[in-house]
Amino acid sequence: MSKQYSELNVGSRILMGPGPSDCDPKVLRAMSVQTVGHLDPDFIAVMNDTVELLRHVFQTENQMTLPMSGTGSAGMETVLVNLIEPGDRVLICVAGLFGQRMVDIAGRCGGVVETVQVPWGRIIDPGEVKKALAKGPYKLVAIVQAETSTGILQPLDEVIALAHENGALVVVDAVTSIGGVELRVDKWGIDTCYGGTQKCLSCPPGLAPVTFNETARKAVTGRRSKVQSWYLDLNMIQNYWGQERFYHHTAPVNMVYALREALRLVYEEGLDKRFARHLRHAGALYAGVTAMGLRLAAQEGHRLPSLTTVAVPDGVDEARARRDLLNGFGLEIGGGLGELKGKVWRVGLMGYSSSHRNVVLFLSALEAVLKAQGVKTPAGAGTAAAEAYLAANPLK
Q: DSSP character for 59?
A: T
pLDDT tens sequence for the chain (396 residues): 689 999 999 889 999 999 999 999 999 999 999 999 999 999 999 999 999 999 999 999 999 999 999 999 999 999 999 999 999 999 999 999 999 999 999 999 999 999 999 999 999 999 999 999 999 899 999 999 999 999 999 999 999 999 999 999 999 999 999 999 999 999 999 999 999 999 999 999 999 999 999 999 999 999 999 999 999 999 999 999 988 888 899 999 999 999 999 999 999 999 999 999 999 999 999 999 999 999 999 999 999 999 999 999 999 999 999 999 999 999 999 999 999 999 999 999 999 999 999 999 999 999 999 999 999 899 999 999 999 999 999 998
Which residues share a beta bridge with 169?
140
Residue 334 CA neighbour count, 13 Å, CB half: 23
- Beta bridge partners of residue 144, listed in sequence order: 173
Q: Which has the closest alpha carbon to 160: 184, 196, 136? A: 184
Q: Return the exposure string of 99-114: e unless at least 16 CB atoms fall within 10 Å of the residue's CB, then b.
A: bbbbbebbeebebebb
Three-state DSSP string of 97-117: HHHHHHHHHHHHCCCEEEEEE
Cα dihedral sign, 316-318-323-326: positive
In 3D space, the residue among 20, 168, 197 whose CA is nearest the CA of residue 93 turns out to be 168
* Collapsed DSSP state (helix, strand, coil) of residue 172: strand
Residue 92, classed as helix, strand or coil, is strand
Q: Structural domain boundaries of the chain?
A: 25-268, 272-392
Q: Residue 213 contacts by C-beta under 8 Å, 6 or more apart in sequence?
A: 60, 62, 64, 185, 186, 190, 191, 192
Q: How many residues does the chain have?
A: 396
Handedness of CA 82, 87, 88, 90 (dihedral sign): positive
Sequence-distant (≥ 6) Cβ neighbours of residue 372 within 8 angstroms = 324
| CATH no., domain 25-268 | 3.40.640.10
CA distance linking residue 77 with residue 83, whole number of Å: 10
- For domain 272-392, give the CATH number: 3.90.1150.10
CB proximity list for 394: less than 8 A, separation 6 or greater? none
Q: According to the model, what pLDDT value does residue 256 have? A: 98
Cβ atoms of 183 and 154 closer than 8 Å: no
Instruction: Note the pLDDT of residue 245.
Output: 87
